[in-house]
Structure 1
Amino acid sequence: MGKNTISLCMIVKNEETYLRRCLESVKNQVDEIIIVDTGSTDSTIGIAEEFETSIFTYEWDKDFAAARNFSLEKAKSDYILVLDADEYLDEDTNLQMVINEKKDFYIINLKNYMDGGYITIHQAIRLFKNKMNLKYYGKIHEHLNIHDFNNLTNDFAGFVIHHDG
């Protein structure tokens, strides 16, 4: 049995400050990088081009879910990992080991570094099987429609997504 493939799906706009760190953290973990740009005017696209990426343009319509769903439509891999440019994975992350369980989706701890040295942790679904009709809803603070399905399998992922933007 071959390895499971993973597509990174991102939406970006003017992310030159963070994008390189994000892509460095995943470049050896994913098989495909999908970047959907919503109107960058800085060097975001140039940084994305330094990596083996597929870059698409999306006319921003103030709907994060629609932009994310557009990125999902471009993914060809077995699994999808969703990150924002100001997020990155631990250097010891092994996504293949996580998805070896072949669950439909994985719940991941996100560690948020706040002003003043505060750290908060919350959980989100950011790794899931592709081509299952999972879609985002909600123009702001979008979420996957996992509740539209019965009997999806899930697990907690053994890695952390760091967020400091």
Structure 2
Amino acid sequence: MPQRRPVLAAALIVRDEARCIARCLDSVAPWVDRMVVLDTGSTDDTPAIARSAGAEVHHMTWPDSFAVARNQALALADADFNLVLDADEWLNSGGEHLRAWCASPPRLGRVCIHSDAEGASTTRNWITRVLPRGARYQGRVHEQVASDLPRARIDLHLGHDGYLGAQITGKHGRNHALLLGDLSERPNDPYLLYQLGKDADMRADRADACTHYALALAVTPADANWRHELVVCAIQALSRAGHLQDALDFADAELGNWAQSPDFFFVLGDVLLEQAIADPRQAIDQWLPLASSAWERCLAIGERPALEGSVAGRGSHLAAHNLGVVRAQLAVLG
């Protein structure tokens, strides 16, 4: 008797996503058996657009918890495997790998999300989004999959534009309150502290960002998949807050851990450039040559898209641009 093919569903929670819901559903429809959309209170045409795109649409009052809403969407999907998406994402490539993944023993799949941000930069994060039946989320916001199943990367790539323009504005206050709620229950959770640092960064609260990144670094395991991005963010936060020497001291302490990270050397070059501006007497002889060396190191390493939180271009054109500007400046001053 032939074995039943596993059912694969796309599971989404949405609210007021008329701008982008069709793009998301159209991109994933060829690769899944069903699409399940859980609407949490839209006042626009999101539900109607989702139905027109072929999705089953259900409704739920917003429970003040992304995990609760996602778990309800997973229950409604009732599928053997689920591809969890947000409406402001779309499947760029790799859909053809999903069926082979579902034919393997149950495990959790990390996909690469390419998030566009202001300034034409794109950050790459590997996030658990392919879930077998029974896997569930925990956490009010920046929710995580709570499962002992092994996690592995699947060559599936999603685009994401939720950090651009007006899309990000409404998230600041909501996410901050939800993070604080989770932190009150898990006060030393390293991932929550890290996300509070990123939240402070988005709100341009430099002091709060430095505080929470420091707290996160004190308790984050060395093998945590987000530690690379945490270190890079912490260096940037110290620099933006004007703590240039602290940023340099911290980078020096972490140097041995990130010898193959263009992101690490890219932000180190930025700090050294800021130091040159702050200390012009030593700029030509010390700080600018050191900044150049950091960006040269980026180019020597090249792009490392497998690093969590890597920014496209830091191992190529972004570093080359910075290096060219500083070399031109040194030629004029020299």
Q: TM-score, normalised by structure 1?
A: 0.89
Query: Residue 49 of structure 1 is aligned with which of 45, 48, 51?
Result: 51
CA shift at 1:33, angstroms?
A: 1.1
State the alpha-carbon separation in 1 of the partners of residues 155 and 142 from structure 2: 24
Identify which range, 91-100 or 75-84, moves more after superposition.
Answer: 91-100
CA shift at 1:98, angstroms?
A: 3.2
C-alpha contact (below 8 Å) 1:98/1:158 kept by paired residues: no
Query: Residue 124 of structure 2 is aligned with which of 121, 125, 129?
Result: 121
Deviations 1:100-133 (A, max 9, x none): 3334211111111111101111111100111x3x
CA shift at 1:92, angstroms?
A: 5.1
Match of 1:9 in 2: 11
Match of 2:66 in 1: 64
Query: Residue 160 of structure 1 is aligned with which of 150, 154, 157?
Result: 157
CA shift at 1:37, angstroms?
A: 0.5
Query: Residue 109 of structure 1 is aligned with which of 100, 112, 133?
Result: 112
Identify which range, 68-77 or 99-108, moves more after superposition.
Answer: 99-108
For structure 2, the 5+ residue unaligned runs are 163-334
Deviations 1:28-79 (A, max 9, x none): 1111111110111111011111132221111012211111111111122210
State the alpha-carbon separation in 2 of the partners of residues 105 and 32 from structure 1: 19
CA shift at 1:159, angstroms?
A: 1.4
Match of 2:304 in 1: none
Match of 1:136 in 2: 137
CA shift at 1:142, angstroms?
A: 0.6
For structure 1, the 5+ residue unaligned runs are none
Aligned: 1:38 with 2:40: yes
State the alpha-carbon separation in 1 of the partners of residues 125 and 94 from structure 2: 20
CA RMSD in angstroms, aligned pairs only: 1.5
State the alpha-carbon separation in 2 of the partners of residues 51 and 45 from structure 1: 10
State the alpha-carbon separation in 2 of the partners of residues 137 and 91 from structure 1: 28
Q: Identity across aligned pairs (percent)?
A: 30
| Counterpart residue identity of residue 128, structure 1 | L
CA shift at 1:93, angstroms?
A: 2.2
More helix by share: 2
Q: Where do 4+ consecutive residues of structure 1 move more than 3 Å? A: none
C-alpha contact (below 8 Å) 1:12/1:38 kept by paired residues: yes
Secondary structure of the residue aligned to 1:45 is helix
Query: Residue 99 of structure 1 is aligned with which of 99, 102, 114?
Result: 102
C-alpha contact (below 8 Å) 1:12/1:36 kept by paired residues: yes
Q: Kindly indicate whether structure 1 or structure 2 has the higher relative contact order, using CA contacts under 8 Å at least 6 residues apart.
A: 1
Match of 1:75 in 2: 77
State the alpha-carbon separation in 1 of the partners of residues 83 and 145 from structure 2: 13
C-alpha contact (below 8 Å) 1:19/1:85 kept by paired residues: yes
| Counterpart residue identity of residue 26, structure 1 | V
State the alpha-carbon separation in 1 of the partners of residues 118 and 34 from structure 2: 33
| Counterpart residue identity of residue 33, structure 1 | M
CA shift at 1:2, angstroms?
A: 4.0
Aligned length: 159
State the alpha-carbon separation in 2 of the partners of residues 27 and 138 from structure 1: 28
State the alpha-carbon separation in 2 of the partners of residues 108 and 82 from structure 1: 10
State the alpha-carbon separation in 2 of the partners of residues 87 and 71 from structure 1: 17
